[in-house]
């Protein structure tokens, strides 16, 4: 009989934290314990998110490593740049950590510092992080103590590209990825560009050539295929709340038909519940 896993969530008042709580609530072997949210500390989580009424009633707390360590697993749903400040201590105390942010996705710290435009203060922890894409990294995730959840855009690019690259259907160079995302992807902030008046009835590209997910997509595909990958990635902002629509273009290695692509996806994903 499987015992319940006690979890705590750091950053429970953000959009990622809220979505995480929905998922955890549906998991029959998870018990949600302490919820941390420094900006909303003292409020009940169902005050911040009324749809949690009669589901979660915990009072949000200021972060405390001691309180977090009362859990078996600590989820971190903080903006990039913040998780690195608390993860080393949690690992030293023997906790399993699952980070939803970008601080531990890139093994190359220099790449992180270039694309995220900040110094990394937990370089040793980076080396033990496991990229949390179960379709391609399931066994390592099972035994890992620090799981770096993949980003939204990278998930939508790696999942479709990996099989056709592995099967030699497309070239490794010249891949073009165009993604359109809803405004909630930027987090729960007061950024003017994300306001209704600014985003409505419009679409725009942003961070062209500099987006922090570029090295994540490239390095993950290189890890999966063992080959150098050349790609361009252009993200766009759509006036919708959530969701991502991605179109990918790539030179073919040989003449193929749609059935060849579908066969590649069936080969790698037919038993994967999260890929439809």
- What are the extents of the domains in the chain? 5-150, 153-269
Task: List pLDDT tens digits, range 90-120.
Answer: 999 999 999 999 999 999 999 999 999 999 9
How many whole angstroms separate alpha carbon 197 and alpha carbon 199?
6
Whole-Å CA distances, 160 to 110, 223, 228 = 27, 15, 17
Q: For 231-264, give one letter per residue: b (16+ CB within 10 A) or e.
A: bebbbebbeeeeebebebebeeeeeeeeeebeeb
Percent over 70 (pLDDT), the chain: 97
Domain made up of 153-269: CATH architecture: 2-Layer Sandwich (3.30)
**pLDDT grade, residue 184 (50/70/90)?**
confident
Instruction: Specify the pLDDT at position 201.
Output: 85
- Mean pLDDT confidence for 18-36: 96
Is the per-residue pLDDT at 187 higher than 70?
no
* Least reliable range by pLDDT among 8-12, 49-53, 191-195: 191-195
Whole-Å CA distances, 6 to 12, 18, 74, 189, 244 = 15, 17, 9, 29, 31
Is the per-residue pLDDT at 1 higher than 60?
no
Task: List pLDDT tens digits, range 120-144.
Answer: 999 999 999 999 999 999 999 999 9
**pLDDT grade, residue 64 (50/70/90)?**
very high
Percent over 90 (pLDDT), the chain: 89
Instruction: Specify the pLDDT at position 189.
Output: 66
> CATH number of the domain at 5-150, out of 3.40.50.720, 3.10.580.10, 1.10.150.80, 3.40.50.360?
3.40.50.720
SS3 at position 148 = strand
The pLDDT mean for the chain works out to: 95
Instruction: Specify the pLDDT at position 250.
Output: 98
**pLDDT grade, residue 2 (50/70/90)?**
low
Please indicate whether residue 152 is annotated as part of the active site: yes
Torsional sign, CA 186, 11, 53, 274: positive
Rg (CA), the chain: 20
Question: 152, 199, 217, 229: which is the annotated catalytic residue?
Answer: 152
């Amino acid at each position: 009989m499987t015992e319940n896993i006690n979890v705590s969530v750091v950053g429970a008042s953000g959009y990622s934290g809220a979505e995480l709580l929905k998922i955890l609530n549906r998991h029959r072997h998870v018990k949600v314990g302490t919820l941390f949210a420094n900006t909303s500390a003292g409020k009940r989580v169902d005050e911040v998110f009324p749809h949690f009424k009669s589901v979660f009633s915990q009072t949000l707390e200021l972060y405390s490593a001691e309180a977090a360590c009362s859990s078996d697993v600590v989820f971190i749903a903080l903006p990039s740049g913040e998780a690195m400040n608390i993860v080393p201590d949690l690992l030293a105390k023997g906790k399993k950590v699952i980070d939803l942010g970008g601080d531990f996705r890139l093994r190359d710290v220099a790449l992180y510092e270039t694309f995220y435009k900040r110094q990394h203060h937990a370089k040793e922890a980076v080396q033990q992080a496991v990229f949390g894409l179960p379709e391609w990294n399931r066994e390592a995730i099972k035994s890992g103590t620090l799981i770096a959840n993949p980003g939204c855009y990278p998930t939508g690019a790696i999942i479709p590209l990996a099989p056709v690259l592995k099967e030699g259907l497309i070239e490794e160079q010249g891949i073009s990825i165009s993604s359109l995302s809803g405004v909630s992807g930027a987090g729960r902030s007061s950024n003017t560009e994300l306001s209704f008046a600014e985003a409505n009835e419009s679409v725009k590209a942003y961070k062209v050539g500099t987006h922090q997910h570029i090295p994540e997509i490239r390095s993950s595909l290189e890890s999966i295929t063992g080959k150098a990958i050349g790609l361009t990635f252009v993200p766009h902002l759509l006036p919708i709340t959530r969701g991502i629509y991605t179109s990918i273009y790539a030179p073919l290695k040989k003449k193929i038909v749609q059935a060849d692509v579908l066969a590649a996806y069936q080969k790698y994903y037919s038993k994967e519940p999260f890929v439809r």
